[in-house]
Homo-oligomer: A and B are copies of this chain.
Amino acid sequence: MSEIKALLFDVFGTVVDWRTSLIDNFTAWGKTKGLKGDWTALVDGWRAAYMPSMDEVRKHPERGFVILDDLQRQSIEPLAAKLGITGLTSADFDYLTRGWHSLNPWPDSVGGLTRLKRKFIISPLSNGNVALLTNMAKHAGLPWDLVLSAEVFGHYKPDREAYLGAAKILGLTPGEVMLVAAHNNDLEAAQSFGLKTAFVPRVTEYGPHQNRDFKADGNWDYVVKDFNDLADKLGC
């Protein structure tokens, strides 16, 4: 087993609890603004639009890469209309989109990352854009060494360019890099391109709609309880 030198982290769901963060944020904000709406349905519907919106980017390389902020901004307006949430201005939609920049970490995230950083290069490898990930890190206190994003490689995960681009830009072989994720399909892609893999379950990520990723489904290099358990197992 070649020595692991860098740990790359999936972010949405793996490092931060996007669902609770957004629902709490929008519910409080809606009250302040006097806006009525099913914010939980909005958040769940928005997340459901995530994969199809990235597929559109993948299908149309001639249009150029579109960052996640712009995809999210495009999908929120029709979704709000569909859910009967009315009276939102353009600035309101901007506010909602910006909500993805200030998600809160799982309880073990900051402490675990801080330990892992002592021994490894730690970076997100997320479909979130660089500004989103940078602002999130400032908000949540995530102690990244650097910020790697699909935006840097012009390809969304699970495209090979994202995983192999991350190893290359760090000057490392794929086997010197390990992806940490709460999603088996992300790890499956990473493993297929030669990266090492660590699974951490985040079984409340989708709330009552969680229907997968309760446990490791593949032959991952590490299966851990949380980031502190990973730090224990990696000797940090």
In the complex, chain B residues whose CB is within 8 Å of the CB of A146: 130, 133-134, 137, 144, 146-147
Distance in Å: Cβ of A172 to nearest Cβ of chain B: 8
Which residues of B have CB within 8 Å of A131?
A: 169-172
A151 at the interface (CB under 8 A from B): yes
Asked whether A138 is an interface residue with its Cβ less than 8 Å from the other chain, the reply is yes
**Copies of this protein chain in the complex:** 2
A135 to chain B: which residues have CB within 8 Å?
171
Q: How many residues of A contact B (CB 8 A)?
A: 21
The answer to whether A69 has its CB under 8 Å from any CB of chain B is yes
A54 located at the interface, meaning its Cβ lies under 8 Å from any Cβ of chain B in the complex? no
Interface majority SS (helix, strand, loop, mixed), chain A: helix
Tell me the A102-127 residues at the B interface (CB within 8 Å).
121
A152 within 8 A of B: yes
Other-chain residue from B134, B144, B171 in contact with A170 (beta carbon distance below 8 A): B134
Q: Does A221 contact B (CB under 8 A)?
A: no
Alpha-carbon separation in the docked complex, A129 to B152 (Å): 13
Residues of B near A152 (CB, < 8 A) are 152
B130 touches A137 (CB 8 A): no
Nearest Cβ on chain B to A21's Cβ, whole angstroms: 19
Q: In the assembled complex, which residues on chain B have CB atoms less than 8 Å from the CB atom of A133?
A: 146
- Distance in angstroms from A144 CB to nearest chain B CB is 7
Chain B CB within 8 A of A92 CB: no
Interface centre among A132, A146, A152 (most CB of B within 10 A): A146
